[in-house]
Structure 1
């Protein structure tokens, strides 16, 4: 099946949201460069509140020239006006043509993501993260092996900073704390 997106339309910088960063998301989005993206997860919110919060942030993304991706089914993403969807391969395998992002941790998961028509994969975690305390990262070499096997753009996620991103040959990078922490309120 032909790809719906080209690597040129897939942002190289992604802010991934969660409960810890909610209070600073608007500020963080204001600081992202045009063409960057938001992966809106916010699994902690009840469905109606989550959808409402996404709509607010998606409007800001549109005004700023950012890509807004909903973590969930493609049909829901389309109904909410998202530019794309994010989730496990089995969730994204069918539905409307939107940008599809899948997080992978192994070559097996990469194969499943590619069968599900992923347009890009977030290979994670490159380094240990606050999101998963005590869990080991893949490390740059294992990350690179997965990224090189990918037929779609590989985005580095997990303990990423601008400095670490410069050292990895990837399509781009994504972060939760690494992009939101600079604007955290005291």
Structure 2
């Protein structure tokens, strides 16, 4: 299941260790949050609440800000759409990533079957969730630290923790990195 990465690919499209996910809840604080993130972090632009034209405009503004702060920006959607928007990559379920493109490809996963699909799809990393309880999905079954570690150990690609994450919880998990909406906003 493991993938080989060329040194050139890893240098051009490194997998960020910290990812901020955007949505309607944190839109007003994104500029400040991006300014506080360490260089080399990333933004996963979702903004599903916006109409298509407004979503594209907001993406452009945030892409310029990400460039200024040394962050990558990924579009939630198919890799072909991410390339058209001049994103650094795509964030999607493994089936939506599409064939290999020049950008970073982050997949979503919630269980072992989805981890395996992500590896087969050629994902560069996977966001495994929900690690902990989250406001985004109240009452959803969480992985917890033990199950998270078991699944991450079986992954053929780097794992990024998502779901109820903050700096303290990230320190408890052994993973490539962590991602959050509220925990970084």
TM over 0.5: yes
Q: Give 1:49's aligned residue.
A: 54
Q: Give 2:10's aligned residue.
A: 6
TM-score where L is the length of structure 1: 0.92
> Aligned ranges for residues 26-105 of structure 1 at < 5 Å?
26-94=31-99, 96-105=101-110
Contact 1:17 1:40 in 2 (8 A): yes
1:6 counterpart SS class: helix
Distance 2:109 2:134 in 1: 15
Distance 2:98 2:113 in 1: 16
Query: How many residues align structurally?
Result: 180
Question: In the alignment, which of 126, 133, 136 is matched to residue 131 of structure 1?
Answer: 136
Deviation sequence 1:43-74 (CA, Å, 0-9, x none): 11111111111111011000110010000111
Any unmatched runs of 5+ in structure 2?
none
1:70 counterpart SS class: strand
2:39 counterpart SS class: coil
Q: How big is the shift at 1:140?
A: 0.6
Q: How big is the shift at 1:136?
A: 2.3
Q: How big is the shift at 1:6?
A: 3.0
Q: Give 1:164's aligned residue.
A: 169
Which stretches of structure 1, 4 residues or longer, exceed 2 Å deviation after superposition? 1-8
Distance 2:126 2:69 in 1: 24
Distance 1:176 1:150 in 2: 24
Distance 1:95 1:70 in 2: 15
TM-score where L is the length of structure 2: 0.92
Q: Give 2:183's aligned residue.
A: 178
